[in-house]
């Protein structure tokens, strides 16, 4: 192999609770409208939709940093609290019954969204990247390993802003459960170790302002504290 023309970018990674090594991130997949009440608040019928996916870029992760910089060219940046699933195995066409073998751990994350730009893209039938995949759009906490906490099938998912609860749901309300998500996603893309999946947000999304203090929580995983700056 020839040398690189310039030094390659660093590989984004997540810290792992209780360990000194870290989780190297390959891709970030996101599930859209995966809680019924959130689908309804966004104007959709949750009973009539197949799951759909979009992506963020690995270098959109905001880790080891509690300060989320308000992004450019938007006046409506929304919080979406989500459980992230981290994979240490992958493959194509993974059967539902084998899917959980791929799950290495979990993290508390935020799918920060330029809602105004996403809305314009939806209206025009354009891609969502400007709304979803901007710099620092994926604040994420440390990874907690399945080996330490077991598999999560239920538990509170919540977000408060300046001490006031805005979002609350339970993992048992996921329309598409984690094994189904992995199985369906693996039919579309070959999954691999290092992939993250953001599993969708419960109802109550809304705008943030500079100075806001966000407190995300997933029962069994932990908390994520972010200040909007
Ligand atoms: Mn989301």
Domains parsed from the chain with CATH numbers? 13-228 (3.90.850.10)
* Ligand 1 center from residue 111 Cα (angstroms): 5
Q: What token pair was written down for 186?
A: 């693996």
The dihedral region occupied by 136, where left means phi > 0, alpha psi between -120 and 50, and beta the remainder, is: left
Nearest Cα residue to 110 out of 82, 147, 135, 129: 82
Which pLDDT score is estimated for 4? 96
**Ligand 1 centre distance from Cα of residue 95 (Å):** 25
Between CA 80 and CA 91 the distance in angstroms is: 28
| 97-138 tens-digit pLDDT | 999 999 999 999 999 999 999 999 999 999 999 999 999 999
Q: How many angstroms separate the alpha carbon of residue 183 from the centre of ligand 1?
A: 19
pLDDT tens sequence across 60-108 = 999 988 999 999 999 999 999 999 999 999 999 999 999 999 999 999 9
- Cα 198 to ligand 1 centroid, rounded to whole Å: 7
CA of 134 to the centre of ligand 1 (A): 14
For residue 156, give the nearest of 66, 223, 64, 78 by alpha carbon: 223
In this predicted structure, what is the pLDDT of residue 65? Answer: 82
Q: Let me know: does 185 contact 175? Beta carbons within 8 Å.
A: no
CA angle at residue 163 from 113 to 204, to 5 degrees? Answer: 40
- pTM for this entry: 0.98
Query: Measuring CA to CA, how many Å separate 145 from each of 165, 190, 220?
Result: 27, 23, 11
- Measured in Å, residue 115 CA sits from the centre of ligand 1 at 11
End-to-end CA distance of the chain: 43
What pLDDT is recorded for position 1? 65
CA of 2 to the centre of ligand 1 (A): 40
């Amino acid at each position: 192999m020839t040398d690189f023309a310039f030094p390659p970018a660093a590989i984004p990674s997540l810290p792992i609770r209780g360990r000194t090594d870290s989780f190297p991130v390959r891709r970030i997949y996101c599930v859209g409208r995966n809680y019924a009440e959130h689908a309804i608040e966004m104007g959709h019928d949750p009973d009539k939709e197949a799951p759909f996916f979009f992506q963020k870029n690995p270098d959109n992760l905001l880790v080891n940093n509690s300060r989320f910089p308000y992004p450019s060219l938007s006046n409506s940046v929304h919080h979406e609290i989500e459980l992230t699933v981290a994979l240490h195995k992958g493959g194509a066409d993974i059967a539902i019954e084998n899917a959980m073998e791929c799950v290495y751990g979990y993290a508390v994350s935020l799918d920060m969204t330029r809602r105004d730009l996403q809305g314009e893209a939806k209206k025009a039938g354009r891609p969502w990247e400007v709304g979803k995949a901007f710099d620092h759009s994926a604040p994420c906490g440390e990874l907690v390993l399945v080996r330490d906490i077991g598999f999560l099938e239920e538990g509170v998912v919540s977000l408060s802003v300046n001490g006031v609860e805005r979002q609350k749901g339970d993992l048992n309300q996921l329309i598409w459960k984690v094994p189904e998500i992995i199985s369906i996603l693996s039919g579309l893309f070959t999954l691999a170790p290092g992939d993250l999946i953001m599993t969708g947000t419960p109802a109550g999304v809304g705008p943030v302002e500079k100075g806001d203090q966000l407190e995300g929580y997933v029962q069994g995983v932990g908390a994520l504290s972010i200040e909007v700056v």
